[in-house]
Amino acid sequence: MRFVFVFLLPLLLLTACQTKEETSKSVELYNTTGDMVGTAKLLEGPDGVQVQLKLEGLTPGFHGLHVHEYAKCEGPDFKSAGNHLDPEGKEHGLMHPMGPHLGDMPNLEADAGGLVDADLMIPGATLKEGKMSLLRGEGTALIVTETQDDGVSQPSGNSGARIVCGEIKSGKGNEATESPTDPTEFNKKQEE
């Protein structure tokens, strides 16, 4: 009995001291006039982060979807969210041979009523700590664009204006303080 107690006590103490990492996150999505137009549920998975997305009020057809650098959605242009999340310095585009950015995602298709109900995956991403985390720093943002992403054009797929934004907040701070990165900076370093 004493052996069991001596063995179990340290085990219980170790598990009590572990930090609790997030395995899911809910995100509210807003249009350029500040109306809530949808939600995204992010779920940690073995191969990346699953995104369950529900949107309304879009123009029927295809729209680009990306994760951006900062959890900051200041309308009307949402440029405060920075550029696509790209912790590895890759080129933009799911079809680009030197890509994709971690934040590059498949296009969405809004139906005739402007609705989207989609399940997507961000391969390699995580909600846990690390370089590939969507919660790094103060978090990131989910952005929908007015037209589809062509999958190869630099730096962002020629997908038009940002029309919907949702903050994926880490809870580590109140607002982003960094300046957006220059997506061409990495290319210049490669040329040198």
Q: Which two tokens stand for residue 7?
A: 């063995």
Domains, in order of start, for the chain: 17-172 (2.60.40.200)
Check pLDDT > 90 for residue 178: no
Which has the closest alpha carbon to 49: 139, 143, 127?
A: 127
Q: What does the pLDDT average to over 71-85?
A: 93
Which has the closest alpha carbon to 60: 189, 158, 147?
A: 147
Q: What global pTM score does this model have?
A: 0.78
Check pLDDT > 50 for residue 15: no
Q: Give the percent of the chain with pLDDT over 90.
A: 56
The string of DSSP codes covering 133-189 is: BTTSTTEEEEEEESS---SSSTTT-S---EEEEEEEE-SS-SS--SPPP-TTHHHHH
pLDDT class of 172 with cuts at 50, 70, 90: low
The string of pLDDT tens digits covering residues 97-107 is: 777 888 889 99
Q: What pLDDT, on a 0 to 100 scale, did the predictor assign at position 21?
A: 64
pLDDT class of 159 with cuts at 50, 70, 90: confident
Check pLDDT > 70 for residue 23: yes
Q: What pLDDT, on a 0 to 100 scale, did the predictor assign at position 20?
A: 55
* SS3 assignment, position 15: helix
Q: What pLDDT, on a 0 to 100 scale, did the predictor assign at position 64?
A: 93
Q: What does the pLDDT average to over 184-189?
A: 47
pLDDT class of 2 with cuts at 50, 70, 90: low
Lowest mean pLDDT among 41-45, 55-59, 177-181: 177-181
Which has the closest alpha carbon to 156: 178, 183, 136, 176?
A: 183
Mean pLDDT across the chain: 82
125-153 b/e with 16+ CB inside 10 Å = b? bbbeeeebbbbbebbbbbbbbbbbbebbe
